[in-house]
Amino acid sequence: MKKDFMFTSESVTEAHPDKLCDQISDAIVDRFLQQDPYGRIITECAVSTGIVFIAARFEPNANVDVTNIARQVIEQAGYQEKEFNGKTCSILTSLTELPPEEHHLFDEKDLSDTEIDQITVTSQATVFGFACNQTYTLMPLPIWLAHKLARRISEVRKQKTLPYLTPDGKTQVGVEYKDRQPYRIHSITVIASQNQRAKPDLQQLQDDIRETVIYPVFANEKIKPDAKTRIFINPHGQLIIGGPTTHAGLTGRKNAIDTYGEYSKHSGSALSGKDPIRIDRIGAYAARYAAKNVVAAKLADECEVQLSYSIGLSRPVSVQVETFGTGKISDEEITAILERHFDFRLAGIIKKFNLRFLPSLTKGGFYRKLAAYGHVGRSDIELPWEKVDKVGVF
């Protein structure tokens, strides 16, 4: 197995067109579940110059104004330019009612273990969870740093430290590894958009980003840029306005950013825009929970958990663990422990994480908060699958 290598991960600001679509989709999921925690909703979104398209399928037991939600999300994301803003953009919708489905009419809080075993998944999926000891959140360092840079771009815009910035932005961090551990920062890339070409010029933008974004982000990091670190700030020139005016967006197109920055495998299915009945969403959270507890228990420096589900069954047909040669016990032994002590069944996951009720219990909604800066590895919000309360079973 390769031990010395360089790896890059990217992130984007919450107003990047793809992330804007994810937020609109998850804000709609939040609103439906706030009205009816047992409701069903699947929604996708696309944006382009002046246009937003929303497709949603839902049970007709809630009254949700999806158009108004989209306009609120766009406005809160910071888009105020005439080219694209929440007040004047055109919003097209395709709304379809789902037929009632008794299979999902259950209250997981009242189910016995036998009854939980009878609730089967209705979509096939293979999902992955990962954890490693590279950061205190047990996330790979490249995606952790890329997220920090993207957040900082938004902060300096909102705080008007750099008032000329517009909401769209992108980051990338390359990290060199020795013996599978981070060694040095190879490269840093920041793409920031601005509201006019005349001010500031490219050189001033680059200086401002270094001083207010890059240097503060790395100030407290153990591994900092060195004299050989390559730093690229808008290497292709100024990006004026950015956002949907420059490039279209789509729900579910940033799966790597949502998870582990490609350092580990991830499912091809979108995480945003789905209620908790969808195993391709919540199974990924359960897999992260398992992997994180393995690493937190110091059974491995790295752990990837794979869960494969088949329609009509409640349990995954396959549970696999890969520790990349870092396990203190065999991968097969860890797998056996996970199967004994972690509930990977659909209703069991919903019950364990209280997934139907989190939108009502969280100010400002819950799922929308996941739609930017990662569904896993978060330290800014409390996520049930980030707890390490299972280390005692190992």
| Residue 263 falls inside a structural domain | no
217: CATH: 3.30.300.10
| Residue 330 falls inside a structural domain | yes
Distance from C-alpha of 10 to C-alpha of 187, rounded to nearest angstrom: 12
Query: What tens digit of pLDDT does each residue of 289-345 get?
Result: 999 999 999 999 999 999 999 999 999 999 999 999 999 999 999 999 999 999 999
- Which range of residues forms the domain containing residue 148? 5-12+140-242
Distance from C-alpha of 317 to C-alpha of 308, rounded to nearest angstrom: 6
Query: What tens digit of pLDDT does each residue of 345-362 get?
Result: 999 999 999 999 999 999
| Residue 81 falls inside a structural domain | no
Give yes or no: residues 366 and 289 share one domain.
Answer: yes
Number of domains in the chain: 2
Q: Which amino acid appears at position 116 of this protein? A: I
State residue 330's pLDDT score.
97
Query: What tens digit of pLDDT does each residue of 212-221 get?
Result: 999 999 999 9
1 pLDDT higher than 70: no
Task: Give the mean pLDDT of 232-251.
Answer: 94
The first and second tokens of residue 122, run together, are: 């209705």
The DSSP result for 294-326, as a single string, is HHHTTS-SEEEEEEEE-TT-SS-SEEEEE-TT-
State residue 196's pLDDT score.
84
| Residue 368 falls inside a structural domain | yes
| Helix, coil or strand: residue 165 | strand
| Residue 219 falls inside a structural domain | yes
Residue 62 — pLDDT band, cuts 50, 70, 90?
confident
Give me the torsion for CA of 365, 66, 127, 391, rounded to 10°: 10
Q: What is the mean pLDDT of the chain?
A: 95
Distance from C-alpha of 131 to C-alpha of 287, rounded to nearest angstrom: 10
Kindly list the distances between the CA atom of residue 32 and the CA atoms of 39, 43, 76, 365, in Å, as whole numbers in the listed order. Answer: 7, 11, 20, 11
Distance from C-alpha of 342 to C-alpha of 321, rounded to nearest angstrom: 13
The first and second tokens of residue 184, run together, are: 């040095």
Query: What tens digit of pLDDT does each residue of 141-166 get?
Result: 999 999 999 999 999 999 999 999 99
| Residue 30 falls inside a structural domain | no
**Which runs of E-coded beta strand occur in 140-252?**
165-178, 181-194, 230-233, 239-240, 249-250
Domain end, chosen from 196, 225, 242, is at: 242
Give yes or no: residues 148 and 117 share one domain.
Answer: no
Give yes or no: residues 309 and 207 share one domain.
Answer: no
Give yes or no: residues 196 and 291 share one domain.
Answer: no
Percentage of residues of the chain with pLDDT beyond 90: 90
Give yes or no: residues 387 and 283 share one domain.
Answer: yes
Query: What tens digit of pLDDT does each residue of 254-266 get?
Result: 999 999 999 999 9
Distance from C-alpha of 281 to C-alpha of 327, rounded to nearest angstrom: 27
How many CB atoms are located within 10 Å of the residue 268 CB?
11
Query: What tens digit of pLDDT does each residue of 277-289 get?
Result: 999 999 999 999 9
Lowest mean pLDDT among 98-112, 219-233, 324-338: 98-112
Residues in the chain: 394
Q: Cα angle at 370 between 366 and 374, to 5 degrees? A: 160
Residue 197 — pLDDT band, cuts 50, 70, 90?
confident
How many CB atoms are located within 10 Å of the residue 296 CB?
18
Cis check for the bond before 200: say yes or no (omega within 30 of 0): yes
CA atoms within 13 A on the CB side of 236: 5
State residue 124's pLDDT score.
93
Give yes or no: residues 177 and 200 share one domain.
Answer: yes
Task: Give the mean pLDDT of 104-126.
Answer: 90
